[in-house]
Amino acid sequence: MRASTYITSVLQTVVADRGWQWPAKASLDTPKDPNFGDVASNLAMVLAKQAGQKPRDLAASLREEVLQRGAAIQDIEIAGPGFLNVFFKPAFWQQTVSVIQEAGQSYGQSDMGQGKTVQVEYVSANPTGPLHIGHGRGAAVGDSLARILRRTGHTVTTEYYLNDAGRQMQILGASIAYRVLELLGGPDTFPEDHYQGGYIRDLAQELVDTRGASLSAMDWPELLEHCRQHGLTRILEGIKRDLRDFRVEHQVWFSEQSLLDKGRVEATLTDLANRGLAYEQDGALWFASTTFGDDKDRVLRKSDGDLTYFASDIAYHADKYARGFDTVVDIWGADHHGYVPRMKGAVQALGRASEDLQVILVQLVNLLRDGEQVSMSTRAGKFETLADVCAEVGPDAARFIFLSRKSDSHLDFDLELVKRQSMDNPVYYVQYAHARINSVLRKGAERGFEPRPVSEADLALLDTAEDMDLFKKLDRFPEVVQGAARTLSPHHVSFYLQELAGLLHRYYNTHSVLYAESDALLQARFHLLLAVRQVLHNGLELLGVHAPEQM
């Protein structure tokens, strides 16, 4: 990040002094191959027409002036059609240690978002049963994204949309009511299309234990509503508990029923109709979603008078924007991919830009045990709930694995692998890097090592290839965090931490810290390890994963 910022500043000054405009297509990238420099830029190629020069000739001219102005730059090579491959002096990289130690927990923080208000809505599972591991993946993505956005200067509100209205809640109430009557000695008439889980019988038993035979005296509508409310309350308690144990925060719990009770849904539909974006046909109310690029218009109110989920969703998003959010981020299961175009169309119908709604799709989790598929069946006694998985492997392991791949790609979650204390386990691999540094520091203290302030350390002694690799990786952390925020992709932080941990483990196996050749070298390596530990801590915090002192 310092490297990109530094060379950008120098290049922009050179371009401005020559009376040219900075090209919109100018880019600076970190080459995968270090032979192509620490930073590479296409500036000469995209500026050539404006400058009236051939790209390589312009690159040579820019090179000469940048080397004169950039005291931290060691060399610039011109490659191919005119790429500028920039190499920094070792002293520039060695300063990274001081920069990180001075910043501490704020290293990686930025004002990129400039206070932009963002609402992140995630999980939002129907309160008809316990959370499963698919919900857990969405929870980890949403919570970590909120942390990353806040770290990059956004004002974030996290929200859970509670689907407490509609047919599924009626089925929940009926499922519990049938079990209540059965427990009270009635016939077993439980419908096959109702909720079958053992938790339904448990909820029914709770009612029987507290209300007893008085339940059988209720008429069906009263019993149905009583069971529905009890089920909603108890299941929601369980959802909140599971999310709390998983270190997931929701600042707002928004009720779908509240939209109906306040007339927000009807008001939104009336507004769409008045503006010619909703129309009556065949006794139903339709949204003109083809106006906004959808493949067909969508039903808002069925011919029998029932509202569709889409109608409530439009009203819900109207409420979100009315609360003043600049951007709304919805995190959905991948099976909702076909829902995205119509929802973006609805957002445009509400008077907002399509980009004001960002949708992150989360793929299913394939649960394994030692490489073998685990049946997703509660009745078979196999793990399927988030609470069960966390109870076995812990929230740290679960969160890290959920965030170890791009959210819209399939994920294999091997219960046995994530419990192993081996380098094959990515969670252990990263956490052990942090714990390993603490172990070195403890052993140093036991041997009487007295660290001096970093300002007194001779960081110039850190000049090996392994030192440089660590410096350059540490410098990139703020850039990675900003990239994760810009693309709404928390997995970038996970990838980075695994790479940083790998460099740390290699460094540890290559260079002695406590038995360094001199006290000066020991002091320098001590401060390098402190910098690595700080970045590991800061990165794990963004993922909601603990940075352990020892393992």
> What string of H, E and C letters represents the secondary structure of 101-143?
HHHHHHCCCCCCCCCCEEEEECCCCCCCCCCEHHHHHHHHHHH
- Provide the pLDDT for residue 10: 97
Question: Helix, strand, or coil here: 411?
Answer: strand
- Provide the pLDDT for residue 376: 60
- Same domain for 332 and 283, yes or no, is yes
- Same domain for 449 and 513, yes or no, is yes
Contact call for residues 481 and 444 (beta carbons, < 8 A): no
Q: How far apart are CA 226 and CA 451, in angstroms?
A: 66
Question: Helix, strand, or coil here: 329?
Answer: strand
* Mean per-residue pLDDT, 169-174: 94
Q: How far apart are CA 540 and CA 167, in angstroms?
A: 41
Q: How far apart are CA 96 and CA 100, in angstroms?
A: 6
Q: Judge if pTM exceeds 0.75.
A: yes
In a domain, 334, yes or no: yes
- Provide the pLDDT for residue 381: 33
**pLDDT tens string 422-445:** 888 999 999 999 999 999 999 999
- Provide the pLDDT for residue 197: 84
- Same domain for 221 and 321, yes or no, is no
Q: How far apart are CA 207 and CA 178, in angstroms?
A: 12
- Provide the pLDDT for residue 215: 92
Question: How many Cα atoms sit within 13 Å of 467 on the Cβ side?
Answer: 23
Q: Residue 71: give its domain's CATH number.
A: 3.30.1360.70
| Per-position DSSP letters for 173-198, written without gaps between them | HHHHHHHHHHHTT------TTS--SH
What's at 243, amino acid-wise?
L
In a domain, 383, yes or no: no
189: confidence class by pLDDT, cuts 50, 70, 90:
confident
Contact call for residues 523 and 451 (beta carbons, < 8 A): yes
In a domain, 135, yes or no: no
- Provide the pLDDT for residue 335: 92
Task: Give residues with Cβ within 8 angstroms of 451, minimum separation 6.
Answer: 444, 523, 526, 527
- Provide the pLDDT for residue 483: 97
**pLDDT tens string 18-45:** 999 999 999 999 999 999 999 999 999 9
* Mean per-residue pLDDT, 373-395: 73
* Mean per-residue pLDDT, 55-61: 96
In a domain, 217, yes or no: yes
- Same domain for 519 and 462, yes or no, is yes
**pLDDT tens string 216-275:** 889 999 999 999 999 999 999 999 999 999 999 999 999 999 999 999 999 999 999 999
Helix (H) or strand (E) holding 225: helix 220-245
- Same domain for 181 and 269, yes or no, is no
Q: Is the pLDDT of residue 55 over 70?
A: yes
- Same domain for 187 and 278, yes or no, is no
- Same domain for 444 and 534, yes or no, is yes
* Mean per-residue pLDDT, 117-143: 95
In a domain, 372, yes or no: no
- Provide the pLDDT for residue 382: 44
Domain count, the chain: 4
Task: Give residues with Cβ within 8 angstroms of 343, minimum separation 6.
Answer: 313, 317, 330, 357, 359
Q: Give 19 or 382, the one with higher predicted confidence.
A: 19
Q: How far apart are CA 90 and CA 469, in angstroms?
A: 11
Contact call for residues 284 and 273 (beta carbons, < 8 A): no
- Same domain for 191 and 278, yes or no, is no
Residue ending a domain, choose from 335, 360, 385: 360
- Provide the pLDDT for residue 1: 80
Q: How far apart are CA 232 and CA 169, in angstroms?
A: 8
Contact call for residues 14 and 65 (beta carbons, < 8 A): yes
Instruction: Give per-residue burial for 259-286: e unless 16+ CB within 10 Å, then b.
Output: bbeeebbeebbebbbeeebbeeeeebbb
Residue ending a domain, choose from 47, 73, 88: 88
* Mean per-residue pLDDT, 124-137: 93
In a domain, 301, yes or no: yes
**pLDDT tens string 88-100:** 999 999 999 999 9
In a domain, 139, yes or no: no
Domain that holds residue 514: 424-543
Pick the closest to residue 119 from 160, 59, 91 (CA basis): 160
Q: Is the pLDDT of residue 143 over 70?
A: yes
Q: Residue 438: give its domain's CATH number.
A: 1.10.730.10
- Provide the pLDDT for residue 379: 33
- Same domain for 12 and 78, yes or no, is yes
What percent of the chain shows pLDDT beyond 90?
91
Give burial (CB, 10 Å; 0-12/13-18/19+) of 468: middle
- Provide the pLDDT for residue 192: 87
Tokens describing residue 208: 């029987």
In a domain, 476, yes or no: yes
- Same domain for 232 and 312, yes or no, is no
Contact call for residues 84 and 44 (beta carbons, < 8 A): yes
* Mean per-residue pLDDT, 139-157: 98
508: confidence class by pLDDT, cuts 50, 70, 90:
very high
Lowest mean pLDDT, pick from 268-282, 362-376, 447-461: 362-376
* Mean per-residue pLDDT, 477-482: 97
Residue ending a domain, choose from 211, 245, 279: 245
- Same domain for 437 and 529, yes or no, is yes
- Same domain for 526 and 434, yes or no, is yes
Question: Helix, strand, or coil here: 410?
Answer: coil
**Helix-, strand-, coil-residue percentages of the chain, each rounded to 5:** 55, 15, 30
Q: How far apart are CA 255 and CA 260, in angstroms?
A: 9
